[in-house]
Structures are given as structure tokens and as C-alpha cells.
Amino acid sequence: MLNFELYNPTNLVFGKGQIEKLSTLVPQGAKILLAYGGGSIFKNGIHEQVINNLKAFEIVEFAGIEPNPHFETLMKAVAIIKEQNIDFILAVGGGSVIDGVKFISAAVNFDGNPIDILQKRVLTKDVSKIIPFGTILTLPATGSEMNSGGVVTIQSTQEKLSFGGSALFPKFSICDPTVIESLPKRQLQNGVVDAYTHVLEQYLTYPHEGYLQDRIAEGILQTLIQVGPEVVENPKDYALASNFMWSCTMALNGLIQKGVPSDWATHMIGHELTALYGIDHARTLAVVGPNLYRVMFETKKGKLAQYGKRIFNLTGTEDEIANEAINKTVEFFHTMGMDTKLSDYTKDYDKTADFIVDRFKERGWLGLGEKQNITLEKVKSIVEMSY
């Protein structure tokens, strides 16, 4: 096993009715920026619950953080925080709102132009410089509620870039599984596939000695396969909802990544597809992932075979099991309502591979994946195979 440090200071407050604890979790006397998205929290009553539980606090509202949040929008919140001396931010929403708030938190006291947090990937490590924040999760998917990373889109350049740092963990995250009742089917499907792919990014690498990490990862995959298709049909079932929500958090709170290699190239390529065509994050993963496993078959086949045996009970030679495991993954994505070809989402795809390769070249991303052997040529093959 590789050496590791495990640091995760987020106080995760999980379960039905936990929003009632909000007033005890927010620092007493804080002036709060309440940040949210396009308005779903008004329709499902979460806004009202938040306001009722924060009666003793001064609140300034910031609405309109869009899916795949924009740098340009977030900088408006940065200005409000400076003008109004805000000292705590409450993010109420899915991954986009939470990521957006992480960026705002890092940008307020950033020395220089905050765009560098994204374009130069300046890490945010100094807790004394950030604006502390908590979250109320309304969409299980990204794990952003218990990690210190985020992804923000610069609208003017159509770039979707990740950022993060150890100072950007939420102080607390309230995860009440009943919030999923108001989610559209498409977002429930997205959540399952995003979390499933997070596990695969950290699991489908090469055989190693992290036996426990593998077993935990497999447990999350099996749980998502068990509850995923059902929770989409029946989001009011608390057993399904709570296992779905906890699986999503566990898939990307750092635990299964400790001491083992990880890949993340599916995400890096997928982010380009969202930046270019606005395709939902999870759907880009369903397009790219299986083709990445096909192109990187020789590197990944040991782990693909383990995945095939343990998750799908496949038998045969290592190559047969590994190949069939990819097919089974695609089948699962189809069950979860995903289209798995780029041409299902846009007719304008023929130059995509060259465009992405050029961008990666400009950024110096010459070798991705757990062995840095996903070369630009391989990226091109993966994207072309995804058409």
C-alpha cells in the first residue's frame, strides 16, 4: 500500500430532519451569504426550512449559481461578500452550488486575479484566508459535500477547470436523504452514474496491495447497482434514498483513494465535453469511460477482470472477463438512462478529438491516468471511439 495522510474535517450531519440543527452548526453571530441555484429550493420547501432555522442570523441571499457554475457569476458573489462584510457562506444545492461556493470562499481574499485559481491551479491551503462555509446537499452525486475540490467553468473561454486545496472542506454538510424526492429522474440518474464513475476512477487502475480500499470500492459499486435503478423510480423510499446518498458521499470523500493509484482521465476528457456542448457531467462520463477502458485495455485488464469477477460474477479467461466487464458497465449505464455516444447529444462532433487534444497539449497534459500513459494519441482514440 502507498503511504498516505487522511485529513477530512467536514462534520457530516446525515439523516431525516437534520436541517433543524442548522442554527447550531453555523457560527454564532455570523453574517451569512445564502447561496443557491436556479430556484428548486423554493419549490421543494428547503429555502423555507433554512430561513426558519436561521431566524437569529443576518442573511444576504445570492441566487442563480448555474449548473456547471460560471466564474463570471461567482465573481459577483465575491463582490457582495466584500461589500457586505459576510463572514460565513451557506451553500444550498447540488455539486454546482457547493463547488461555486468553494470557489467564492477561495477567491475573496486571493492575492491577485482569482482566475489563476483555475487557470494556474493555485491550491487553497491557508484556512485563515478563506471564507468558511457549510452546505446543505440537495442532490447526491459529486461528493463535493465532503471533499475539498471543485470544478468551475470560465464562460468567456469555454474552459471547465478543477481547483481545490485542504482549506476548502465544508465546515459541515447536512445530508438529508428526503431532499431527493423533488429531483427530476434525469438528475437522479446522473447522480448514480457520477458516483459510480468516481469509484471506477479510483478502482479501475492496476492490481495493487490496497485490498481494503478495493473491497470498500466494490461495496459502493454493488450498492449503487442495487439501489440505483430503483431509487430513480421510487425516490421516496428512505432505505433507497439514504443508501444512494451515502454511497455518493463515500465515493468521493477521499477514503477509497488513500494509499492506491487513481486515474481521473475520464473526468478530464468529460469536462471538455461539458464545456463544449453543455452535456450533463455524468452523461459525459458514460460516453467516455467505457471507451477509455477499451483503449487502455492492456493497462487496466487485471483490474477489469477483478471487477468483472467480483461485481458481475463473470467467468472465463482474464481477457474475456475484462472485456465483458466493460460491456456490463455500458449495460448498467443504459439501465440508468444514459446515452453512451457523443453523437446522441450533438451532431457537431467531428472535430472534437482534435480540439481536446490541442487543449491538453496547450495545458501540458501530455500523459494522463494512473500510469501517465494515456498519451494525446490515446486521448484522440478514446474521443473518436466515443463519437
The three-state secondary structure class of 153 is strand
Binding of ligand NZQ by 99 (CB under 6 A): yes
The three-state secondary structure class of 284 is helix
Contacted entry of ligand NZQ, Zn ion, none for residue 141, CB cut-off 5 to 8 Å set by kind: ligand NZQ
- Rounded Cα gap, residues 386 and 369, in angstroms: 18
Element (H, E) at 13: strand 11-14
- Write out the binding residues for ligand NZQ, residues 8-47 only, by CB under 6 A: 37-41, 44
Mark the segment that binds ligand NZQ (CB under 6 A) among 3-11, 95-103, 223-231, 355-363: 95-103
The correct pick among 105, 178, 189, 190 for binding ligand NZQ (CB under 6 A) is 190
Cβ-contact 247, 188 below 8 angstroms: no
Contacted entry of Zn ion, ligand NZQ, none for residue 283, CB cut-off 5 to 8 Å set by kind: none
Nearest residue to Zn ion, scored by beta-carbon proximity: 194
- Rounded Cα gap, residues 235 and 270, in angstroms: 27
Q: What does DSSP say about strands 367-368 and 172-175: parallel, antiparallel, or unpaired?
A: unpaired
Going 223 to 218 to 283 to 253, the CA torsion angle's sign is: positive
Quote the least distance from Cβ 92 to ligand NZQ, whole Å.
8
- Rounded Cα gap, residues 357 and 228, in angstroms: 34
Binding of ligand NZQ by 179 (CB under 6 A): yes
- Write out the binding residues for ligand NZQ, residues 276-315 only, by CB under 6 A: 281
The correct pick among 18, 49, 53, 68 for binding ligand NZQ (CB under 6 A) is 68
Distant-in-sequence, close-in-space partners of 11: CB < 8 Å, separation ≥ 6: 25, 171, 172, 173
Cβ-contact 167, 123 below 8 angstroms: no
Binding of ligand NZQ by 67 (CB under 6 A): yes
Total number of residues binding ligand NZQ (CB under 6 A)?
A: 33
- Write out the binding residues for ligand NZQ, residues 211-270 only, by CB under 6 A: 252, 267
23 versus 162: smaller Cβ distance to Zn ion: 162
Distances (CA, A) of 67 to 36, 121, 301, 324: 11, 21, 35, 34
Contacting residues toward ligand NZQ, per CB under 6 A: 37-41, 44, 67-68, 93-97, 99, 138-139, 141-144, 147, 149-151, 179, 182-183, 187, 190, 194, 252, 267, 281
